[in-house]
Amino acid sequence: MADDTDFEFEGEPIELVVDDTNAGGRLDAVLAKEHDVLSRSRIKDLILNGAVTIDGKPVSEPKYRLKAGETIVLLAPPPEDPEPQGEDIPLDILYEDDELIVINKPVGMVVHPAPGSPNGTLVNALIFHCGESLKGIGGVKRPGIVHRLDRDTSGVMVAAKTEKAHKHLSEQFADHGRTGPLHRAYIAYAWGSTQSAMGSVDAPLGRDPGNRLKQAVRKDGREAITHYAVQARYGDEKWDITRIQCQLETGRTHQIRVHLAHIGHPLVADQIYASGYATKVNRLPEELAGAIRSLGRQALHAAELGFEHPVTGEEMMFEADLPGDMRVLQDALEPYDKAFAR
C-alpha cells in the first residue's frame, strides 16, 4: 500500500458502485480494499470530515453497512507536499556564511514540522531565508538541523546549509564536546537552594511510562549527564530560587528539566516537571509572582553555543542575552539577591 502522501487523485472524486461482494461490509473497510492507495485510517478521517457521499447524501459514519447498488463517492483532497515549505518568518541571526547559520531562537517556535505543528517552524523560516543558498541536505534542499531546543526554550542554535557542514556539525554534537570544542551552556532558574555550588547529575533518561509527553529517570534509559554551577541565589525566609548555569555532556529530550527536578530543584514555571510547585508562587512578593505567572514556560535559556567551523576549523562561540520574559524575571529577583559567594 502506498504512503498517504503518494496518492494520485489530486482532488478528483473516486466513485464506487457497491456490488454483492461488498454488500454488508463497512464503508471504511470496503473503500480501503477497493482503493488501496489510501490507508484505512486515512479513509476513516476523510469519512469523518465529510468527504464521502452515498447516493448523493453525506455519510460520516465509517461503520456504515453498505447495500448492493449504492453509489459511493469519495472526494480525496490533493496530497500535501511531503517537504516543508519556506515561510517569511523573521529570524534573529547571530551569524551566517555559506556553510551554516546561527540564530537566537525565540520562545514558542518549534524547530521542525511535526504533527500539531505543520508550519511556522524554524525549518520553514530557514528555507525561506536561505533560499537558493541551501544545498542538498540528505538529497533534499532543506536546512540541516543538528540539534534542537524545546518549543518554549529560547536561545542559540546552529543549522547547516550544506551536506559537508551537516555531517561535521552532527559529529560534534554526537561527541557532546568530550573530545572536541563543542560547548553548550544554559541559564536556568530553579526552585529551592541547591546544597552545593557545583555538581553533576548522571541519571539515564527515557520516556515516562505513565505519560508519553514526559521524560523520566529510568534504569533502562539512555545515558544523560548534566553539569551545573550556581550563579546566584535569591530569596527570604519563605522562598528560595537559584540561578544556575547548566552544561550538557549529553543531549537528551528535556534533559535539564528532568535532571534538576530529579535532584529536587525543578525549573521555575515548568508546567510539566514543576506542576507541584505552582502554589509556591502565591508565597512570593507580588512583582516576582507576576513575573513568573506571565512567563508561562520553563525558565530556561540556551545562552552559549560553541563549536568548530566545519570548513575553516575555527573555534566559534556565540551568546544570546536573556529574552524579555526572563529579563523581567531576573529584574524581579535582583532585590532578593543573597550575594552568594561563588
- CA atoms 37, 39, 42, 48: torsion sign: positive
> 171 and 181 in one domain?
no
The total number of structural domains in the chain stands at 3
> 135 and 91 in one domain?
yes
Residue 138 confidence (pLDDT) above 50: yes
What does the pLDDT average to over 251-261? 95
What does the pLDDT average to over 101-115? 90
Q: How far apart, in whole angstroms, are the C-alpha atoms of residue 161 and residue 29? A: 45
By residue range, what is the domain housing residue 22?
4-75
Q: Which of 127, 153, 175 is the last residue of a domain?
A: 175
> 133 and 121 in one domain?
yes
Q: Which of 175, 192, 217 is the last residue of a domain?
A: 175
> 88 and 134 in one domain?
yes
Question: Residue 247 phi/psi, 5° resolution?
Answer: -120, 135
Q: Could you read off the pLDDT of 24-62 as tens digits, one per residue?
A: 999 999 988 876 556 677 788 888 888 899 998 989 999
pLDDT for 258: 97
Q: How confident is the model at residue 259 (pLDDT cuts 50, 70, 90)?
A: very high
Q: Which of 22, 50, 75 is the last residue of a domain?
A: 75
What does the pLDDT average to over 220-235? 96
Residue 79 confidence (pLDDT) above 60: no
Question: How distant is the alpha carbon of residue 51 from its chain centre?
Answer: 32
> 99 and 53 in one domain?
no
Q: What is the pTM of this model?
A: 0.74
Residue 335: how many CA atoms within 13 Å on its side-chain side?
Answer: 7
Query: Residue 301's closest CA among 230, 235, 246, 342?
Result: 246
> 198 and 289 in one domain?
yes
pLDDT for 82: 55
Of residues 305 and 144, the one with the higher pLDDT is: 305
> 97 and 42 in one domain?
no
Of residues 15 and 59, the one with the higher pLDDT is: 59
> 241 and 212 in one domain?
yes
pLDDT for 176: 85
For the ranges 81-85, 128-132, 225-229, the lowest mean pLDDT is seen at: 81-85
> 169 and 115 in one domain?
yes
Question: Looking at the annotation, which residues are catalytic?
Answer: 150
Q: Could you read off the pLDDT of 187-207 as tens digits, one per residue?
A: 999 999 998 999 999 999 998
What does the pLDDT average to over 131-143? 72
- The CATH number given to whatever domain includes residue 110 is 3.30.2350.10
- The CATH number given to whatever domain includes residue 22 is 3.10.290.10
Mean pLDDT of the chain: 88
Of residues 263 and 179, the one with the higher pLDDT is: 263
What torsion do the CA atoms of 210, 211, 214, 220 make, to the nearest 10 degrees?
30
> 276 and 146 in one domain?
no
pLDDT for 116: 67
- Percent over 70 (pLDDT), the chain: 89
pLDDT for 1: 30
Buried b (16+ CB within 10 A) or exposed e, 23-40: eebbbbbbbbebeebbeb
> 340 and 196 in one domain?
yes
Q: Could you read off the pLDDT of 290-333 as tens digits, one per residue?
A: 999 999 899 999 999 999 999 999 999 999 999 999 999 999 99
> 243 and 320 in one domain?
yes
CA angle, corner 81, sides to 11 and 253, nearest 5? 135
